[in-house]
Amino acid sequence: MKSLRAAAAAGRGIVKAKDDPTLADLERRVSTLQEQWRDYQRRFTSNYLAIDPDATSLRARLDNLQQQLTAQRAASVQVALAEAEAEASAAQNAVNQLRDDVAANQQQAKEFATHLNEYKALREDLNHV
């Protein structure tokens, strides 16, 4: 859990795009728009790009998608952390239950051993009679 939280805080991805279809789609769309933007930058000057409606629209869509991607990554990280915490909690509950079961079994084994010793003592007494 600590390593997941540390990775999330450091901005390292703990959720892979293949595990989140929304994230994968956003990454694909951003990549496509980035390719188009790079193509525009190769073909046109920065002054022209600043006034061309198609270029400004493309840049705005790209910026918007990048913001959506950032937000989706953050949401995916929160979901992954919540799932990991739930799994850790369930595992801890299972460990606690197993410990309780072991303690109960040990108590039963002690009681059985006590009764067995009593039985042996009584049997021994009976054999002497």
Looking at residues 29-42, what average pLDDT do you find?
97
Which tens digit of pLDDT belongs to each residue from 70-116?
Answer: 999 988 888 889 999 999 999 999 999 999 999 999 999 999 999 99
Q: How many CB atoms lie within 10 A of CB 76?
A: 20
pLDDT number for residue 3 = 66
pLDDT number for residue 77 = 87
pLDDT number for residue 127 = 87
Number of domains present in the structure of the chain: 1
Q: How many CB atoms lie within 10 A of CB 36?
A: 16
pLDDT number for residue 111 = 95
pTM metric for this prediction = 0.62
Looking at residues 44-62, what average pLDDT do you find?
96
Rounded to whole angstroms, the Cα distance separating 58 from 20 reads 25
Rounded to whole angstroms, the Cα distance separating 103 from 111 reads 12
